Chain A
């Protein structure tokens, strides 16, 4: 079983739609959780951290369920510019080793 699993998609949605991505992780000792975004032929960049209480950044909402070892990302009012691959990332225990999921592809169409 992969340590971080994501639905690869692609998710094809119209502009203005709400879309949700899920991610599960297998290591219960994981300490921190993140969503990164990677545009086509570009490097990954941090989109947002995921906190236990859930957090929101504009149109983006991240949720964490430690009991189910599950992370989600909700994007409201999708824009064409949201088209990218979204990477679920987990940090193991303490330190600086981050484990990446394979990513979920989002395509927003007009």
Chain B
């Protein structure tokens, strides 16, 4: 079993749909992240949760809504997305601390918005 699992791996949705991405980590970490990866662009940090509390919202549009019910699970709720939101969405986890350096990523959810 991989340390960080994401579902679904692929998602196609229309602009009026509502869907959710799910992430689960089995590593006992206390911080979880959502990153967006678009073609030829750097990974963009979207949200950070430490001990279930959101500590970072990197100016993400409100059509993306994160939820962290516990330290092991993270969701990204999607509604009224735009075609430019099509990207690979990566979840990651780590131990919170002053020397955090290693993020453990899931395999990502590839989203296509029609």
A residues with a Cβ closer than 8 A to B are 2, 4, 8, 32, 34, 42-46, 49, 87, 91, 94-103
Contacts and interface: CB of A to CB of B under 8 A. Distances in A.
Interface of B: 31, 35, 40-43, 45, 48, 50, 56, 90, 94, 96-103, 105-108
A80 B59 CA distance: 40
B98 A95 contact: yes
Residue of B40, B43, B99 most packed against chain A (CB within 10 A): B43
5 contacts: A34-B101, A42-B107, A98-B45, A99-B42, A102-B42
Contact of A91 (B35, B90, B100, B105): B100
B42 A100 contact: yes
Residue of B31, B56, B97, B101 most packed against chain A (CB within 10 A): B101
Contact of A32 (B42, B96, B99, B105): B99
Contacts of A98: 45, 100-101, 103
Contacts of B50: 96
B31 A96 contact: yes
A101 B42 contact: yes
Contacts of B97: 96
B101 A49 contact: yes
Residue of B31, B41, B50, B105 most packed against chain A (CB within 10 A): B105
B41 to A, nearest CB: 6
A91 B101 CA distance: 7
Given A43-B105, A99-B45, A102-B42, 18 more contacts: A8-B40, A32-B99, A43-B107, A43-B108, A44-B90, A45-B105, A46-B101, A46-B103, A49-B101, A87-B42, A91-B100, A91-B101, A96-B50, A96-B96, A98-B100, A98-B101, A100-B35, A100-B43
